[in-house]
């Protein structure tokens, strides 16, 4: 079976709106460490980890052994209506790591559901359906989470069940706050928040939700300290702050364990997903006990925090802490950030290299302008694959390359990926400028 046959079958039975990467679609059949092998017989260095999902890497015994031990008990899952030791232990770890005092945890199967739960809790706690979100954000694919997603390609926002207003994003290349230095950006963003509260809401807003670094939006980051400055305004009327750490959590940014910590603020609710399961479906919301306890109904998730996923989650958290993967992300991330900054500075198509730690975005532009260059982005993306490197793409205009390798990346692998990225960018820059 070639990938082409599989693509035709995929197209025949799956909805038209599911994107598939690459001109020649790729089927991955095995993985080891930071490398995956395709049905095309080629090995690739994986700098995307399935949208930052394979946080530890592939076929790591410290993760797979505890999962196999759980399978060996004969119980994949029964019900979360019974006590699940793995789940309680993982909740204790996450509550402690969250930095939120006396926190409680609710497990779900996806980031979407985690954010949906956070919205449910915040709106119930505050008795308001007004939410503030950020332009260029992505929070999920249900009605409510699409409604707080400020990214046109991913949001059917006319179906929004919530009353949502969007704040300006941290985009440094275009938009009203572009080209401002950090202090001026924070002042202008806070003024925007005050204006939105005064003009576009009834005042009783439930929560502000934001990603410390916008993932799908192309690794756009708010200036450090912005959420702390927002918080002062939110605290005047008790508006909750939700940090969507689905992409930024568990040390990926290198400098902190959570993205919010760069902002001098503690969120009321924090949502997590993706990397925590290292491929298993595991996500959730952690936050203030009084907010987690805010809904006066009975509710549970059939699969959220099941024993197999929770076994993986416990193993992942232990691996991250025991091997100080945050420090690894900082060190290998620096190789990439510094190498890209130095070696792409003369390439006209490179508009900005941004992000933190092992979240690296390269925004491509038409040389000499700030106009998005989605053509060059696709070319570099395909060229990287040809050279043996998997990366992601995204951004509001589809013109950002996104790199989020497993946090176990070695220095040599960082240099190998860097060389391929620079080569691919140089080839395409030559084509565009010719």
Binding site for ligand PMP (CB under 6 A): 51, 110-112, 115, 138-140, 211, 215-216, 244, 246-247, 273, 283
Q: Which is nearer to ligand PMP, 284 or 372 (CB)?
A: 284
Q: Which is nearer to ligand PMP, 246 or 425 (CB)?
A: 246
The three-point CA angle 231-237-242 to 5° equals 45
Q: Considering Cα of 299, then 301, then 307, then 313, what sign does the dihedral take?
A: negative
Stated as kind and residue range, the H or E segment containing 366 is none
Q: Which is nearer to ligand PMP, 155 or 201 (CB)?
A: 155
Closest contact distance (angstroms) between CB of 17 and ligand PMP is 14
Closest contact distance (angstroms) between CB of 404 and ligand PMP is 10
Closest contact distance (angstroms) between CB of 217 and ligand PMP is 9
- The torsion defined by the Cα of 247, 251, 252 and 255, in degrees rounded to 10, comes to 120
Task: Please report the DSSP string for 273-298 in residue order.
Answer: -GGGGTTS--EEEEEEHHHHT---S-
Task: Please report the DSSP string for 207-264 in residue order.
Answer: EEEE-SEETTTTSEEPPTTHHHHHHHHHHTTT-EEEEE-TTTTTTTTSS-SSGGGGGT
Q: Which is nearer to ligand PMP, 111 or 304 (CB)?
A: 111
d(C-alpha 260, C-alpha 265), whole Å: 7
Task: Please report the DSSP string for 5-46 in residue order.
Answer: HHHHHHHHHS-TT----TTTT--EEEEEBTEEEETTS-EEEE
Closest contact distance (angstroms) between CB of 237 and ligand PMP is 26
Closest contact distance (angstroms) between CB of 267 and ligand PMP is 14
Do residues 90 and 305 make contact, with C-beta atoms less than 8 angstroms apart? yes
Q: Which is nearer to ligand PMP, 339 or 395 (CB)?
A: 395
d(C-alpha 421, C-alpha 105), whole Å: 39
Q: Which is nearer to ligand PMP, 53 or 314 (CB)?
A: 53
Do residues 266 and 227 make contact, with C-beta atoms less than 8 angstroms apart? no
Closest contact distance (angstroms) between CB of 204 and ligand PMP is 25
Task: Please report the DSSP string for 69-87 in residue order.
Answer: HHHHTT-S---TTS--HHH
List the structure tokens of 307.
Answer: 């024993």
Closest contact distance (angstroms) between CB of 316 and ligand PMP is 15
Q: Which is nearer to ligand PMP, 115 or 373 (CB)?
A: 115
Closest contact distance (angstroms) between CB of 55 and ligand PMP is 13
Q: Is 356 helix (H, G, I), strand (E, B) or coil?
A: strand
Closest contact distance (angstroms) between CB of 243 and ligand PMP is 10
Do residues 351 and 364 make contact, with C-beta atoms less than 8 angstroms apart? yes
Q: Which is nearer to ligand PMP, 159 or 289 (CB)?
A: 159
Q: Which is nearer to ligand PMP, 60 or 273 (CB)?
A: 273
Closest contact distance (angstroms) between CB of 112 and ligand PMP is 3
Name the nearest CA neighbour of 105 among 215, 256, 338, 270: 270
């Amino acid at each position: 079976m070639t990938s082409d046959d599989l693509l035709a079958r995929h197209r025949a039975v799956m909805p038209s709106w599911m994107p598939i990467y690459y001109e020649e679609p790729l089927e991955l059949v095995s993985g080891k460490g930071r490398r995956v092998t395709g049905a095309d017989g080629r090995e690739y260095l994986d700098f995307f980890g399935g949208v930052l999902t394979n946080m530890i890497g592939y076929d790591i015994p410290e993760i797979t052994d505890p999962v196999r031990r759980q399978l060996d008990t004969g119980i994949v899952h029964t019900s979360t209506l019974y006590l699940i030791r793995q789940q309680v232990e993982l909740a204790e770890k996450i509550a402690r790591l969250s930095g939120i005092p006396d926190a409680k945890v609710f497990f779900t199967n996806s980031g979407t559901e985690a954010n949906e739960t956070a919205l449910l809790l915040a709106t119930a706690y505050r008795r308001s359906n007004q939410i503030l979100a950020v332009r260029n954000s992505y929070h999920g694919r249900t009605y409510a989470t699409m409604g707080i997603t400020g990214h046109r390609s991913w949001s059917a926002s006319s179906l929004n069940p919530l009353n949502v207003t969007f704040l300006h994003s941290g985009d440094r290349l275009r938009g009203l706050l572009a080209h401002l230095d950090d202090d001026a950006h924070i002042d202008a963003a806070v003024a925007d928040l005050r204006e939105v509260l005064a003009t576009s809401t009834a005042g009783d807003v439930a929560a502000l939700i934001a990603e410390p670094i916008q993932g799908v939006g192309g690794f756009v980051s708010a200036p450090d300290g912005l959420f702390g400055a927002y918080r002062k305004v939110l605290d005047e009327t008790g508006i909750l702050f939700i940090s969507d750490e689905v992409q930024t959590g568990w040390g990926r940014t290198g400098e902190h364990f959570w993205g919010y910590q760069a902002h001098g603020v503690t969120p009321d609710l924090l949502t997590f997903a993706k990397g925590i399961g290292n491929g298993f479906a595991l996500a959730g919301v952690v936050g203030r006990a009084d907010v987690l306890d805010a809904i006066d109904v009975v509710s549970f998730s059939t699969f959220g925090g099941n024993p197999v996923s929770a076994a993986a989650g416990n193993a992942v958290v232990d691996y991250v802490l025991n091997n100080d993967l945050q420090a690894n992300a900082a060190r290998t991330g620096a190789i990439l950030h510094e190498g890209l900054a130095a070696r792409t500075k003369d390439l006209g198509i490179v508009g900005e290299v941004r992000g933190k730690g092992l979240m690296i975005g390269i925004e491509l532009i038409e040389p000499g302008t700030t106009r998005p260059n989605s053509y060059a982005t696709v070319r570099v993306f395909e060229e990287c694959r040809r050279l043996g490197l998997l990366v992601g793409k995204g951004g509001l205009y589809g013109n950002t390359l996104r790199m989020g390798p497993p946090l176990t990346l070695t220095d040599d692998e960082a240099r190998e990926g860097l060389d391929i990225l620079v080569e691919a960018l140089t080839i395409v820059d030559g084509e565009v400028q010719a």
